[in-house]
């Protein structure tokens, strides 16, 4: 469960040191966009110390490393450095072909054999280009180590050459394609970032739209966005109470031989029961955090 995917630059130990202050579901040490080209090699060299320090702080969520994109000269070196640490996994940006996952999957197999751990190492993929969106379904099914994908709207929109708007209709098709691919593969779908970093209201609105599409979490680039995302992608108390009432009413109806019921003014059948069960399950998982 990743409601909040929280990034900080790998070359900024002062910002990484603040990770423990915020209850993100997944923390990302960013060797890619967050780290300038001239600082990448040094940040990679410091990665082991950064991970060790954060491990000692007992972060509540996953700890991952975003490597540079597969076509980059840094990709393989980043993977080697990341898997030399005790990170929970890697975030691979700008995926376009399933084969781009193979080096990371190879590292995971080797590390699982030589240094097994209770929680399996994982891959989170970024789908943020025209090619990636076209291949979204295949990418999401490409490797069992891939547990989540995020949609990168800004890179996609830049490649399209369109204009970004607050409502986001210009990326709606691509945003939908990514979440459909994730759902088809049974993996976690993480929604786009909001670059208007001082507009918390917009972040909430965009998170609500993402949740309506089926996303279960959001990219966070500021600490305060973590709390907003955690709240936005967790069922509200009234949603959970309604779902529990519906499940019980449906149980009684089925026992009486009914498959469809009128519940609090709405017709309820199997699909709506499934949605209610998902709400309760998600609430229980959030409560366990």
Q: List, in sequence order, the alpha helices (H) in 26-128.
A: 40-45, 47-56, 75-83, 102-114
Question: CA torsion, points 149, 29, 88, 185, in degrees to nearest 10?
Answer: 0
How does strand 261-263 pair with strand 26-30?
unpaired
% of the chain at pLDDT higher than 90: 77
pLDDT at 287 over 80: no
Q: What's the pLDDT at 160? A: 97
pLDDT at 239 over 80: yes
> What's the rounded Cα separation, in Å, for the pair 222 and 208?
18
pTM, two decimal places: 0.89
* Rounded mean pLDDT, 67-91: 97
pLDDT at 288 over 60: no
Query: pLDDT tens-digit profile of 14-28?
Result: 999 999 999 999 999
Structure tokens at 51: 């991970």
pLDDT at 129 over 70: yes
> What's the rounded Cα separation, in Å, for the pair 107 and 143?
13
Q: Which residues contact 108 (CB under 8 A, 6 or more apart)?
A: 83, 89, 120, 121, 122, 123, 145
pLDDT at 76 over 90: yes
Which letter, b or e, does each residue of 268-277 get, where b requires 16 or more Cβ atoms within 10 Å of its Cβ? beeebbeebe
* Rounded mean pLDDT, 106-110: 95
Confidence of residue 143 (pLDDT cuts 50, 70, 90): very high
Confidence of residue 124 (pLDDT cuts 50, 70, 90): very high
CATH 3.20.20.60, the chain: domain bounds: 4-232
> What's the rounded Cα separation, in Å, for the pair 189 and 244?
25
Per the CB < 8 A criterion, the answer to whether 174 and 157 are in contact is: no
Per the CB < 8 A criterion, the answer to whether 77 and 53 are in contact is: no
* Rounded mean pLDDT, 30-56: 97
Confidence of residue 242 (pLDDT cuts 50, 70, 90): confident
> What's the rounded Cα separation, in Å, for the pair 105 and 85?
16
Q: What's the pLDDT at 259? A: 77
Q: What's the pLDDT at 280? A: 84
- Assign a CATH topology to domain 4-232: TIM Barrel (3.20.20)
Q: What's the pLDDT at 289? A: 52
> What's the rounded Cα separation, in Å, for the pair 202 and 89?
30
Q: What's the pLDDT at 216? A: 97
Confidence of residue 181 (pLDDT cuts 50, 70, 90): very high
């Amino acid at each position: 469960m990743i409601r909040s995917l929280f990034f900080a630059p790998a070359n900024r130990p002062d910002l990484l040191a603040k990770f423990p202050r915020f209850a993100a579901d997944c923390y990302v040490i960013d060797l890619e966009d967050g780290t300038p080209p001239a600082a990448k090699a040094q940040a990679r060299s410091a990665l082991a110390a950064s991970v060790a320090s954060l491990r000692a702080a007992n972060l509540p969520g996953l700890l991952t490393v975003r490597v540079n994109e597969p076509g980059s000269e840094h990709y393989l070196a980043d993977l080697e450095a990341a898997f030399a640490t005790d990170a929970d996994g890697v975030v691979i940006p700008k995926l376009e072909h399933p084969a781009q996952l193979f080096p990371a999957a190879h590292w995971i197999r080797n590390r699982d054999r030589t240094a097994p751990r209770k929680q399996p190492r994982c891959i989170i993929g970024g789908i943020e280009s025209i090619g990636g969106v076209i291949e979204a379904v295949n990418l999401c099914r490409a490797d069992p180590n891939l547990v989540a994908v995020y949609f990168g709207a800004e890179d996609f929109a830049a490649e399209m050459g369109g204009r970004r708007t607050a409502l986001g209709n210009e990326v709606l098709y691509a945003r939908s394609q990514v979440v459909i691919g994730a759902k088809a593969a049974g993996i976690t779908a993480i929604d786009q970032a909001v670059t208007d970093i001082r507009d918390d209201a917009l972040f909430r609105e965009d998170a609500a739209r993402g949740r309506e599409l089926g996303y279960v979490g959001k990219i966070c680039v500021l600490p305060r966005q973590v709390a907003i995302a955690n709240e936005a992608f967790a069922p509200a108390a009234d949603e959970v109470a309604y779902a529990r009432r519906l499940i019980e009413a449906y149980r009684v109806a089925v026992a009486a031989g009914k498959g469809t019921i009128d519940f609090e003014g709405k017709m309820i059948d199997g699909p709506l029961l499934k949605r209610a069960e998902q709400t309760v399950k998600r609430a229980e998982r959030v409560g366990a955090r």
